[in-house]
Amino acid sequence: MVSFRIIVDSTIDFPPDLSVEVVPVHVYAGAVDLLDKRDFTHETLRDVLEKGVPLRTAAPSVKEWMRAVEAQDADSPVLIMTLGSSYSSAVQSARIAARMLAKNGYTIRVFDTETSSVGAGIFVERAVDLAERGAPLDRAYEELEKLLPRARLYLVVTDMESATRSGRIPRIVGKIGRLLDLHPIFHVVDARVHLWRTVRGIDAAVKAMLDVTRGQNNILVGEIGESAPARKIYAALRGTGKNVKLIPADPAIGAHFGWGSFGVAFFEDEQSPQ
Amino acid sequence: MVSGKHLKDAIFAGEALLRKEMDFINAINVYPVADADTGTNMYNTIKGIADIIQDREEERADKMAEAIAEAALEAARGNSGTIISQYFWGFSEAIQGKHILTVPDLADAFVEAKEWAYQAVSNPVEGTMLTTMRAAADAAKALRDEKDPLSFANKVYQNALAALERTPEMLAKLGKPKIIDSGAYGYTLILEGFIHAFGGKIDGFRVRGMAAEQESPREDVGTLYCSNFMLDLDDGATAGEIRRAIQPYGDSIVVVGGRGKMKVHIHTDRPDKVRKILEGFGKVVQERIDKIW
């Protein structure tokens, strides 16, 4: 018995065995509106990337959040967790849904993870743990808020085209990057995506990921498609006895960062296993 | 007087205008992230509303506004769509119980709609669609004594346009390029939809001034040139048409101008080809080509 329900948007990448409800974001492949994970799968992603179809994503609407909450009665409090508000309107639409549903007796808190993919996934893992241990919703929310400054997400872009198309990388940088086999590594910190470092060659990117995870524990490694570098990182981290999980990242994240991109997430200075 | 049918017509007129301007709005989308989707999100929101209400025949204004507001909650896409959904919700709240709307009713609706839009955003930023919504609301409040809804809507629209023209300065203060805000422009098209629904028309006015990173299908990059052209236009060419024509040959495209002149900027490895294309739109009166690498 958990103390609150957890509903998340589909771009958050967390271990599949967790009891979490997922509301799909919309992915526009050209003009076609696809629901993430249902109509838009990794196969679809690969196909449209190969064909060069422009991809855009849009957060769930207010009504879609409301429907997810109303799928169960108002007895259980609800924690909605979203992709960071700096790059998605998910938190905005979820907060409006929460405000509207409060009139019907629902208790809802909306948590802005301020990050994405496995970076948000580490918060979901922690929220599930708190719910299973019976923490009241407000206390769990406070615990999660305290973790915000310690959350770290590093993302390696292997497909410059998708990242430039989505506006994450200036186009001219993307062109130079492709020419020189450069891989930008993004660091999501303080709710913003920063270009942390640019490395030449994928091995240098793997090394950089292993460097940032040195001394850390409870790590999620995310991969968009089957990513050999991500698996290399995962194997290396497991070899050192760390608590680490390899997570298939959501295809909608792939719409922004491209096939084969990968990342690592953890709470800084977390030594003890969960 | 304004009925439910007028409100429905306004949505359909707004949808047509947004469909026409969607690419342009995407191209000028720089805030909050230059991800070129504001036009798509606004269009999909209004189209989604139109799809949901298309079979709804409702003369009562309050009932139609309610249907629009409900549909908007379902159809809203992105930040801009979510703000619009709340705008329509506020509009609907303000006119509950009103079968037919007078100008003071419309004024109240525009003011309440603006309030709801601001509440939809945890950190409202000026220089965005909120600024144009506020300008429309301020004008609506001041114009309560107008008798004719069309004249009222026209003046409200003109005030929103004046605010739109101020958005480049506001965005520049946010460290963004000095161009009109995409969402603010999209909102003026929704307002324009009201004018069409009330039997009016905007004569040929389209805000044109644009800058945006553009997609390029080209993968091969040789020597790259920063290329600038000044063009004396033949009749009828628009910035959008010029942009589309040169888009396959480069990126970082900026097309700005009006009154027969257009300034074109592009990063391209084929400045000669771009020049030739531009000559199809008018006379190239100035050019400057600088090597980037």
When the pLDDT of each residue in chain B is averaged and rounded to a whole number, the result is 85
Q: What is the mean pLDDT of residues B220-226?
A: 55
Question: Containing domain of residue A185, as a range?
Answer: 150-267
> Which one is predicted more confidently, B258 or B118?
B118
CA proximity to A273, closest of A155, A125, A145, A135: A125
| Number of domains into which chain A is organized | 2
Nearest-Cα distance to chain A for B199, in Å, is 31
Query: Which of A85, A96, A170 lies at the smallest CB-CB distance from B120?
Result: A96
Mean pLDDT of A95-119: 95
Interface contact flag, B85 A95, Cβ < 8 Å: no
The alpha carbon of B96 is separated from its chain's Cα centroid by a whole number of angstroms, namely 28
Residue B24 and residue B39 in contact, taking contact as beta carbons nearer than 8 Å:
yes
What CATH architecture is B4-203? Alpha Horseshoe (1.25)
Q: Which of A124, A147, A170 is the last residue of a domain?
A: A147
Of A65-69, A244-248, B37-41, the range with the lowest mean pLDDT is B37-41
Sign of the alpha-carbon torsion through B186, B91, B161, A87: negative
For residues A108 and A161, membership in a common domain is answered with no
Chain A positions touching B79 (Cβ under 8 A) are 89, 92
pTM of the model: 0.78
User: Last residue of a domain, which of A147, A169, A187?
Assistant: A147
Q: In A62-181, where do the E strands start and end?
A: 78-82, 108-112, 151-156
pLDDT at A105: 94
Q: Which of A33, A54, A63 sits opposite B215 (nearest CB)?
A: A54
ipTM greater than 0.90, yes or no? Answer: no
A1 touches chain B (CB under 8 A): no
Distances in whole angstroms, Cα of residue A27 to Cα of each of A10, B41, B121: 11, 11, 23
For residues A162 and A193, the model is more confident at A193
Task: Give the rounded distance of the alpha carbon of B251 from its chain centre.
Answer: 22
Q: Which fold has domain B213-291?
A: Alpha-Beta Plaits (3.30.70)
CA distance B194 to B158: 13
Length of chain A: 274
pLDDT at A109: 97
Residue written as token pair 């929101």: B45
pLDDT in tens, B231-270: 888 777 777 778 777 876 776 677 777 667 777 877 777 7
Task: Write the pLDDT tens digit of every residue in A43-66.
Answer: 998 888 888 788 888 999 999 999
Residues A122 and A154 in one domain: no
- Is the CB of residue A103 less than 8 Å away from at least one CB of chain B? no
Give the helix ranges, DSSP H, for B174-279. 182-197, 239-246, 271-279
Check CB contact under 8 Å for A171 and B37.
no
Q: Do B77 and A58 touch (CB under 8 A)?
A: yes
Range A136-144 contact pairs with CB under 8 angstroms and sequence separation of 24 or more? A136/A3, A136/A4, A136/A77, A137/A3, A137/A4, A137/A77, A137/A78, A137/A79, A137/A107, A137/A109, A138/A109, A140/A3, A140/A4, A140/A79, A141/A79, A141/A109, A141/A111, A144/A111
Tokens (6 digits) for B48: 């989604």
Q: Are residues A10 and A141 in the same domain?
A: yes
pLDDT tens digits, one per residue of A137-192: 999 999 999 999 999 999 998 876 666 665 556 666 666 666 667 888 888 877 77
Same structural domain, A10 and A132: yes
Tell me which of A100, A121, A147 is where a domain ends. Answer: A147
Residue A175 touches partner B, C-beta closer than 8 Å: yes
Token readout for A76 is: 């259980």
pLDDT score of A161: 67
Phi, psi of B59 (to 5 degrees): -80, -30
* The pLDDT of residue A208: 94
The domain that holds A73 is classified in CATH as 3.40.50.10170
Cβ neighbours of residue B124 closer than 8 Å, sequence gap 6 or more: B118, B130
List the single residue in A26, A96, A167 with the smallest CB-CB distance to B82.
A96
Which CATH number do you get for residue A210?
A: 3.30.1180.10
**B145 is written with which tokens?**
């004594």
Of B36, B74, B86, the CB nearest to A96: B86
Strands of the sheet with A26-29, listed across from one edge: A32-35, A26-29, A55-58
